[in-house]
């Protein structure tokens, strides 16, 4: 891989790729993407315990926040219709973000075992390898959302929005998942070891926890009120809650914030991939 | 003859304790996260949940003071991991096998391993209390209360450390010990950590928090900070910590015996 990063090798590679018919290139790309995604999903089918951490954590946070803090929903100034739903939206978006990061663990583990390097040697367009991990991460996150949503409904959560608004909420979660995945991929392609997992988790944890988690922004006090104002996750969480309540508010802003983060992190992941290729 | 050449229990424990302390101090990754993460969560909760002080019946105190007990328990949970992972590593790299060839006694090994945990526990207690006081919290029980707070937090760290020892000795796997972390974290969140039990409106959560021993550890610590001297809360706090410690240490002793037979 290393020798291909010389300018001559890159030109030759670009010439070969450009001479290949477009449909053939696309078909190869999808083939690699599907293979990597299926490999990751198959691992979960063979060892369902792998799904436990991404499933248990959102459920546990939902129980702990919605159950333990439900009295907070009766505070003066707390104008959301249901505290369970208020917390559910945060937990959904949190699981979306961590779903993107959990697949980063797989990338790190595959780097540790040397498997990712072999995959990259075999693939013509190596971004297909990373995209395959991303698709697997999204499918795994969607499974978690179905379970968490089912349990929240079964335990009495009220839904204020209609199907389209819920679709918007799920759309937001998808964009957050993709953005978090790009971040995880960017970190893992640079550091190329599972031991770098905290470098993925900590920044994400900080951006999530400094959004309005427990109460709406108007009830926040102190430093977190100032941080929440400039945290892009605030717009996403608030728009998600408004969609859940059936009263959409700043939804475009939220999608723009999430898509903007995803675009920036795509560049981060892309450059990480180039670094991984250069490292060989 | 053997007894003449076997070092006294205290000497054995001292050597192993020194090893445990040096090993802990050489690993910043073992010291820094248990200090930083709990303080970060305290900062978020104290600010993000300060509106909770407006709930009728909430103690007449700031949310910072109310939540100050939280990092002590969170830090103790890290102690579980440290103790367990160290033992598992000793088993994995063969140190245990070599120890088994010496006249080392089981109790001195356990005492030695716990010393590193208590060192981290002391650093944590100082850091958390200093951060809380610097941020404006006060200790209602005064200076003597602060000393009792230290004593209770060390008792809690020892109790959780003993759980870690048991897990490490039983499984011999660092990964299995790491798996305990989420479970302990769940115990912390399903307790009266964020609201007083009588203000939890969800019946099932209040029931879980009432049977969860972590609630009594938190309430014991918290009583010194926001109430003053509350003999019942303190007795429950020290009692639960002692019970966890005794049970976990007993289980760890059995696991150690079994481990030494296996080796």
> pLDDT tens digit string along A109-125?
888 888 888 888 888 88
Reported as a pLDDT band with limits 50, 70 and 90, residue A8 is low
When CB atoms are compared, the residue of B44, B189, B201 closest to A71 is: B201
Q: Is B127 on the interface with A (CB under 8 A)?
A: no
- Contact A224/B190, CB-based, under 8 Å? no
Q: Which residues of B are less than 8 Å from A234 in CB distance?
A: none
| Domain residue ranges in chain A | 3-279
Backbone angles phi, psi at A94, to 5 degrees: -65, -45
Distance from the B209 Cα atom to the nearest Cα atom in chain A, whole angstroms: 9
- Neighbour tally for B198: CB within 10 Å: 8
pLDDT score recorded for residue B76: 86
> Encoding tokens for residue B30?
């073992």
Secondary structure percentages of chain A, helix, strand, coil, to 5: 85, 0, 15
Confirm if B24 and B82 have CB atoms less than 8 A apart.
yes
Q: Is B205 on the interface with A (CB under 8 A)?
A: yes
Question: Which 3 state secondary structure label does DSSP give B138?
Answer: coil
pLDDT at position A167 over 90: yes
Mean pLDDT for the stretch of residues A30-48:
88
pLDDT score recorded for residue B262: 55
Reported as a pLDDT band with limits 50, 70 and 90, residue A49 is confident
Using CA atoms, how far apart are residues A1 and A245, in angstroms rounded to an integer? 51
Backbone angles phi, psi at B102, to 5 degrees: -100, 170
When CB atoms are compared, the residue of B41, B186, B205 closest to A67 is: B205
Q: Is B135 on the interface with A (CB under 8 A)?
A: no
Using CA atoms, how far apart are residues B104 and B24, in angstroms rounded to an integer? 21
Span B44-53, pLDDT tens digits: 989 999 999 9
Residue among B149, B139, B146 at smallest CA distance from B64: B139
pTM, to two decimals: 0.81
> Encoding tokens for residue A185?
């991929």
Span A194-216, pLDDT tens digits: 777 778 888 888 899 999 999 99
- H-state helical runs in chain B: 2-5, 9-25, 28-48, 63-67, 69-92, 95-100, 106-134, 142-171, 174-178, 180-189, 203-211, 213-222, 231-262
pLDDT at position B224 over 70: yes
- H-state helical runs in A123-250: 127-154, 163-191, 197-209, 223-230, 232-245
- Neighbour tally for A168: CB within 10 Å: 21
| Domain residue ranges in chain B | 2-262
Q: What is the CA A65 to chain-centroid distance, rounded? A: 21
Q: Is B136 on the interface with A (CB under 8 A)?
A: no
Give the list of residues 6+ apart from residue A144 with CB closer than 8 angstroms, or none: A51, A54, A55, A58, A95, A99
Q: Is B198 on the interface with A (CB under 8 A)?
A: no
Which range has the worst mean pLDDT, A53-57, A93-97, B141-145, B157-161? A53-57
| Residue showing tokens 């950590």 | B193
Alpha-carbon distances, residue A63 vs A91, A97, A133, B24, B261 (angstroms): 10, 19, 30, 35, 43
Say which residue, B111 or B30, is predicted with more confidence: B111
Span A82-112, pLDDT tens digits: 999 999 999 999 999 989 888 888 888 888 8
Residue B131 has, within 13 A of its CA and on its CB side, a CA count of 23
When CB atoms are compared, the residue of B43, B47, B195 closest to A69 is: B195
Using CA atoms, how far apart are residues B57 and B200, in angstroms rounded to an integer? 11
pLDDT at position A259 over 60: yes
Chain A residues in contact with chain B using a Cβ-Cβ cutoff of 8 Å: 53, 56-57, 60-61, 63-64, 66-72, 74-78, 206, 209-210, 212-215, 219-225
Closest residue in B to A226 (Cα–Cα)? B47
- Contact B47/A220, CB-based, under 8 Å? yes
Question: Which 3 state secondary structure label does DSSP give A154?
Answer: helix
Reported as a pLDDT band with limits 50, 70 and 90, residue A16 is low
Q: ipTM surpassing 0.90, yes or no?
A: no
When CB atoms are compared, the residue of B47, B190, B194 closest to A221 is: B47
- Neighbour tally for B176: CB within 10 Å: 15
Span A212-257, pLDDT tens digits: 999 999 999 889 999 999 999 999 999 999 999 999 999 999 999 9
Confirm if A60 and B191 have CB atoms less than 8 A apart.
no
């Amino acid at each position: 891989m290393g020798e291909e990063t010389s300018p001559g090798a890159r030109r030759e590679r670009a010439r070969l790729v450009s001479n290949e018919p477009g449909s053939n290139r696309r078909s190869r790309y999808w083939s690699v993407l599907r293979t990597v995604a299926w490999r990751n999903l198959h691992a979960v089918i063979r060892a369902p315990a792998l799904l436990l951490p991404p499933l248990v954590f959102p459920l546990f946070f939902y129980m702990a926040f919605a159950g333990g803090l439900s009295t907070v929903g009766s505070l003066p100034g707390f104008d959301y219709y249901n505290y369970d739903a208020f917390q559910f939206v945060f937990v959904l978006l949190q699981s979306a973000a961590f779903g993107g990061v959990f697949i980063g663990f797989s990338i790190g583990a595959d780097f540790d075992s040397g498997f990712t390097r072999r995959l990259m040697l075999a693939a013509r367009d190596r971004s297909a390898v990373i995209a395959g991990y991303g698709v697997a991460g999204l499918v795994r996150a969607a499974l978690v959302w179905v379970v968490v949503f089912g349990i929240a409904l079964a335990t009495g959560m009220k839904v204020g929005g209609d199907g389209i608004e819920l679709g918007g909420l799920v759309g937001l979660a998808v964009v957050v998942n993709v953005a978090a995945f790009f971040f995880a991929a960017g970190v893992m392609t640079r550091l190329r070891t599972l031991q770098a997992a905290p470098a993925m988790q900590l920044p994400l944890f900080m951006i999530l926890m400094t959004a309005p988690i427990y109460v709406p922004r108007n009830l926040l006090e102190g430093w977190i009120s100032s941080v929440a104002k400039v945290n892009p996750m605030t717009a996403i969480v608030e728009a998600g809650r408004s969609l859940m309540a059936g009263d959409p508010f700043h939804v475009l802003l939220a999608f723009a914030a999430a898509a903007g983060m995803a675009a920036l992190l795509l560049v981060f992941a892309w450059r990480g991939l180039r670094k991984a290729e250069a490292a060989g | 003859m053997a007894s003449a050449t076997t070092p006294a229990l205290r000497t054995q424990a001292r050597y192993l304790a020194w090893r445990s302390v040096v090993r802990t101090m050489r690993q910043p990754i073992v010291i820094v996260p248990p200090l930083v993460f709990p303080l970060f969560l305290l900062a978020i909760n104290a600010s993000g949940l300060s509106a909770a002080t407006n709930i009728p019946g909430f103690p007449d105190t700031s949310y910072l003071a109310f939540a100050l007990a939280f990092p002590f328990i969170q830090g103790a949970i890290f102690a579980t991991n440290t103790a367990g992972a160290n033992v598992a590593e000793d088993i994995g790299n063969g140190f245990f096998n070599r120890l088994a060839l010496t006249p080392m006694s089981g109790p001195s090994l356990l005492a030695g391993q716990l010393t590193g945990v208590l060192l981290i526990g002391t650093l944590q207690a100082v850091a958390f209390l200093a951060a809380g006081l610097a941020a404006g919290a006060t200790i209602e029980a005064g200076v003597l209360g602060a000393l009792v707070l230290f004593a209770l937090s060390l008792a809690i760290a020892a109790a959780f450390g003993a759980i870690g020892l048991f897990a490490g000795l039983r499984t011999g796997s660092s990964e299995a010990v790491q798996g305990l972390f989420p479970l302990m974290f769940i115990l912390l969140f399903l307790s009266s950590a964020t609201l007083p039990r009588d203000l939890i409106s969800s019946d099932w959560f209040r029931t879980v928090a009432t049977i969860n021993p972590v609630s009594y550890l938190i309430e014991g610590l918290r009583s010194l900070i926001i109430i003053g001297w509350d003999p019942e809360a303190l007795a429950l706090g020290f009692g639960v910590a002692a019970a966890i410690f005794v049970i976990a240490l007993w289980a760890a002793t059995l696991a150690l015996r079994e481990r030494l037979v296996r080796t």
